[in-house]
Structure 1
Amino acid sequence: MRDIYAIGDLQGCQTSFEQLLARLPQDADLWLAGDLVNRGPRSLDTLRQVIALGDRVTAVLGNHDLHLLAVAAGVRQAHGSDTLDDILNAPDRDALIDWVRHRPLAHFAHGHLMVHAGVLPQWDAAQVVTLARDVEQQLRGPAWKVFLSRMFGNQPDRWHDDLSDEDRQRLTINALTRMRFCTADGRIDFKIKEGANAATDELKPWFDTPGRRTAGVTVAFGHWSALGLVMRDNLLALDTGCVWGGQLTAVKLAISPAARELIQVDCPQIRDPFAFADDKTSNKVKKTREADDAPKAAKAAKSEKAEKAVKTVKVDRVGKVAARKLGKIRKVEKTGTSAKARKVEKRERAEKGAKRKGN
């Protein structure tokens, strides 16, 4: 079996992808965790390069990939932060869109399950694949545009066995491509986007929910750049924020976690991670930054005060030294003047004495 490397979100960062590929075996299989495009500067080039890699690549769909399909289908408006125009205006646009909509939503092989975001705790690996195949069939069918027009929304946000087809498909998409936090009974939270430390008593990172039925397989996923790299025996979080100036990550998959290989390349910052945050998140980040900066500001103020004090002492010292020098000069001048006066006086007395003798 050829080596398999699981790779985190590309998001149109083709240069970083090329650098990472240069460090991987040329015959290795590549599992891509979705979000191939968008927000990065070269979405079209990235997509074409992935397609050119042929059968070496298995790429699951991410939320940005589905967004591309929906915009191309005319059922969703483009966002101001999108970098999809080069794909949408490409001469081979239709072929590119067809390739994307034929990608899987989940991939399971060799004891590893890959999805873009996460899986609900009630699902085992076989059920994840079954639910994903149902959505994939719709995306690959002739009515894919109509299907996508009904697939965006936050409801239902909880798993039930008796959901309607449309609700089940929408929940499947949301779980596999958008989820970060959920409750133990499978209710998805769509608001919290911070890291795992934002968990509450009720809401946990999906992979930390008690009784998760996919705990027996290794799940590899991306989507959650605020989480960063996580490598556990049964978990690989691979989105390390390439587009935000982090790294692009690849992990060699292995039956034994000890046999894994981690490869990362540093990425230039293309986007500000706080530019897309909502007001609540921005304020929270601002307060955190202010709290972090407070000690630095106090230290800087203290340092500035100390520096001013040192300058004052230096000035005082310089002033005293200058005063002493000036005093010496004046003393010398005064001494010199007195000596000269005494010399003149002595000469005058001598002249007067000489005159008296002459008389």
Structure 2
Amino acid sequence: MRSPVRIGALVPLTRPGWAEAGHHLLAGLESAVSEVNDAGGIAGRPLELVVRDTAADPQRAAAAVDELAGLGVAAVAGEYHSVVARAAATRADAVGLPFLCSSAVLDALTEQPTEWVARLSPPQSRGWQVYADFLLGAGHTRIAVATQPSVYWASGTRVLRNCLAPHDGTVIELDMSALTPTAVCDALVDHRATALLLLVGHPEPAVPIVRSVRRDQRLAEIMIGAPAGQPEFAEWATLLGDDGAGIPFLRYLPERLGPLGARVERALRERLAEAPSFVAFEGYDTVAVLADVLRSHGPDRRRIAESWPRVAVEGTRGQIQFTRTPGISVWQWAGPPIQVVDRDPAEPGRFRILHTG
């Protein structure tokens, strides 16, 4: 057998990483690799994933990029957590290793523009603007955000504030390093907020906050939202049951999957033994792009990086092409679909599309 073409895969598989998201991402990556190899691989060479668990640790991710570069991978793929992806992207840029980011949205993945990094997921400024449009359309202008110290949460808060300000909207920050879930309820009443957004980790403290708000009769009319997507995964429904329904979040899927998406959805469902999240589709599309590049340009790292602007690949969620976007330092897929959805209170296993962007 000819030697494999190797791709490094960065995924959070253990705590404090969001392991459920990591497993969905990995399932998508592995499913696409299996299809590539069933179809003859890359010019007769098998495609092989070299997986590293980032556990939501930026330093661990940067070290993994160095290790993978030394192992001779053609490119690195994956990552879910934005702060971790930023560390990986910065290191990949420094060592000259192509990195296709699957699922992280932080606008500034690198401090300076780079030729080495491309991204499939939409930048936070675009996705969270869609979410802000949804809030305004639903009549919410007094928004409270339960937040924790993080570049990602701070960036999201800034996007929301900038989008709401022209409409006389207010964003009230509730620091969860200083407040209990019960104190959050009191603050929501005091500030007359009509919506509470969970800009916090999952399951802690997101789940206790939801339980506390749902049980406070003073807050029966308040909307809880989770733009970062916590309710997408089965663990959310398992932990919260009916309390976890009716909480709108961002999801990067089209309203209806095309033939490729539908076929991949079936394969992912079988691999995961549950409905695949949008993160699993991001993983599949990542390998679909890299396999196409490798077939056309071979495993040379510089040629891979130079090919980003010429990519034209049919993914599970639409045609993937990379462009330069103002304010974004990496090659960016400008067209990923964006939805605001929630779990249907009448049937929490079903998702309702509330808004598209």
* Larger gyration radius, structure 1 or structure 2: 1
The TM-score, its normalising length taken from structure 2, stands at: 0.25
The TM-score, its normalising length taken from structure 1, stands at: 0.25
Which protein, 1 or 2, shows the higher relative CO under an 8 Å CA cutoff with sep ≥ 6?
A: 2
Q: Would you tell me which structure has more strand in proportion to its own residues?
A: 2
